[in-house]
C-alpha cells in the first residue's frame, strides 16, 4: 500500500475511534447525567482528544514525528480549533435545525475530520520545528 493511502487508512481508523469516543461520551453525559448538550460536547472532546493524539502520534504519523513536545502543542492547537468549529456549529444547528443532537453531532464530527487530517499531516506532526 502506498504511504499516503496507508496513512489515510490509519487516520480513518484512529479518527473513527476518537469520533466514536467523542460521540459516546457526549450522548452518555446527556442521556445518563442530564448534562447540557453544549457542555457534554466539551466533555466528549476532552476524552476523545487523548484517544486521537495517542493513535495519531504512535500510528498514523509515527514516521513524520520527531519529538513529542512540539507534536503535543501543535496537535492540541489543531484539535482545539476543530473543537471550536464543532461547538459553534453544534450550538447554532442544535438551536436552529431541529435535528436530534446525536445525529447532528455525528454529522459535524465527520465534517471536521477532513480539516483535522490536512492540518495534522502538514503541520501538527511534521518533524520540522
pLDDT tens readout for residues 69-122: 988 999 999 999 999 999 999 999 999 999 999 999 999 999 998 888 888 888
User: Where along the chain do its domains lie?
Assistant: 3-124
Q: What is the largest CA-CA distance in the chain?
A: 46
Strands (E), 3-114: none
Band (pLDDT 50/70/90 cuts) for residue 129 is low
97-105, long-range: CB within 8 Å, 24+ apart, which pairs?
A: 101/30, 101/37, 102/23, 102/27, 105/22, 105/23, 105/26, 105/27, 105/41, 105/44
Residues in the chain: 129
pLDDT band, very low/low/confident/very high, at 34 (cuts 50, 70, 90) = very high
Q: What is the pLDDT of residue 65?
A: 67
Amino acid at each position: 500500500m502506498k504511504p499516503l493511502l496507508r496513512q489515510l487508512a490509519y487516520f480513518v481508523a484512529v479518527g473513527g475511534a476518537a469520533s466514536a469516543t467523542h460521540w459516546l461520551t457526549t450522548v452518555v453525559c446527556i442521556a445518563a447525567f442530564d448534562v447540557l448538550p453544549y457542555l457534554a460536547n466539551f466533555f466528549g472532546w476532552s476524552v476523545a482528544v487523548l484517544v486521537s493524539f495517542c493513535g495519531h502520534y504512535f500510528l498514523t504519523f509515527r514516521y513524520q514525528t520527531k519529538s513529542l513536545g512540539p507534536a503535543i502543542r501543535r496537535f492540541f492547537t489543531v484539535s482545539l480549533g476543530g473543537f471550536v468549529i464543532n461547538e459553534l456549529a453544534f450550538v447554532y444547528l442544535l438551536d436552529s435545525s431541529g435535528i436530534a443532537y446525536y445525529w447532528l453531532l455525528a454529522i459535524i464530527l465527520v465534517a471536521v475530520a477532513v480539516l483535522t487530517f490536512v492540518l495534522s499531516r502538514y503541520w501538527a506532526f511534521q518533524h520540522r520545528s
